[in-house]
Amino acid sequence: MKYFNAFIMCQSMFCALPGPWRRWDEKARPYMLIFLPVIGIEIGVIWTALAWVLNYFALPAMLVAAVLCLYPFFVTGFIHLDGFMDVTDAVRSYRSLERRREILKDSRVGAFAVVGCIALMIMQFAGFASVTLDGSSICAALTFIPVISRCCSALAVTVLPAMETSQYAGAENKAHCVITIVIMMIFAAAGVLVCGIYSLAMAGCAVGYAIALRRAYKSLEGMNGDVSGYALTIGELCGVIVLALL
């Protein structure tokens, strides 16, 4: 039952798709991260189906790009984009560590967050505008990008020391880490078989996540949900850019 509760909690927190009900079980909270890749599957399958439908009806390329660009933000309730903006404000302030962490928790939006969000949207829109969605392998790659990004998030949260104020403080669990690695390996292999060369988008996502994570973690000296959202958002952007380059 605790694993089922953990899935429901993960679904309601990290995905805006409607669920049968909402419940919170504090004892199940440490198991939530196991189900992050499952949420990624849901998001990725719908992303792929959306790309296929838009391409099937031959809608204008710019409209298709806009819809596919905005989808991952709407389907997650903007929770990861919020983390991206918070971390961008904090990291780009170049203040003391204490002040950067204060900015991270500040509910107000700063100039760096606004500029960063605009740049993110432009790059993601341009990426999709440059992708020719004329093959099932290209569309299918969108299934795997959210899974890999969330596997990376689960690994980062369980391996890296968390900030004292983070809900993930004390969440380190070697068993969860092993499970996540196995899931990532399975989906990486499936992605190569299904997508062929377009599976490189998964590698781009993982590399982008790692680079963004290093930048944020080094600046803030700790892991939390905002840092995870920041790296996840950049990682998925990098996956889309790789698709555009192939």
Asked if the structure places residue 127 within a domain, the reply is yes
Cα–Cα distance between 211 and 5 in angstroms, integer? 33
CB proximity list for 222: less than 8 A, separation 6 or greater: 160, 161, 162, 163, 164, 166
**What is the three-state SS of the chain?**
CHHHHHHHHHHHHHCCCCCCCCCCCHHHHHHHHHHHHHHHHHHHHHHHHHHHHHHHCCCCHHHHHHHHHHHHHHHCCCHHHHHHHHHHHHHHHCCCHHHHHHHHHCCCCCHHHHHHHHHHHHHHHHHHHCCCCCCHHHHHHHHHHHHHHHHHHHHHHHHCCECCCCCCCCCCCHHHHHHHHHHHHHHHHHHHHHHHHHHHHHHHHHHHHHHHHHHHHHHHCCECHHHHHHHHHHHHHHHHHHHHHC
Tokens of 245: 């380059």
Asked if the structure places residue 31 within a domain, the reply is no
Tokens of 184: 């990532």
Output the pLDDT for position 216.
96
Asked if the structure places residue 149 within a domain, the reply is yes
Question: Tens digits of per-residue pLDDT, 175-209?
Answer: 677 788 888 898 889 988 988 899 999 999 999 99
Asked if the structure places residue 18 within a domain, the reply is no
Asked if the structure places residue 19 within a domain, the reply is no
Asked if the structure places residue 188 within a domain, the reply is yes
Which structural domain, as residue segments, surrounds residue 113? 37-245
Q: How many domains does the chain have?
A: 1
* 169 band by pLDDT with thresholds 50, 70 and 90: low
Dihedral angle of Cα 70, 71, 75, 80, to the nearest 10 degrees: -50
Question: Tens digits of per-residue pLDDT, 34-67?
Answer: 889 999 999 999 999 999 999 889 899 999 999 9
pTM for this prediction: 0.92
Cα–Cα distance between 60 and 129 in angstroms, integer? 10
Tell whether the model's pLDDT for residue 226 goes beyond 70: yes
Output the pLDDT for position 74.
96
Asked if the structure places residue 234 within a domain, the reply is yes
Tokens of 28: 């199940």
Asked if the structure places residue 208 within a domain, the reply is yes
Question: Tens digits of per-residue pLDDT, 108-156?
Answer: 999 999 999 999 999 999 999 998 777 677 888 999 999 999 999 999 9
Tokens of 153: 């998030």
Residues of the chain with pLDDT > 90, as a percent, come to: 60
Question: Tens digits of per-residue pLDDT, 59-93?
Answer: 999 999 999 999 999 999 999 999 999 999 999 99
Output the pLDDT for position 50.
93
Tokens of 198: 């377009």
Beta bridge partners, 162, equal 223
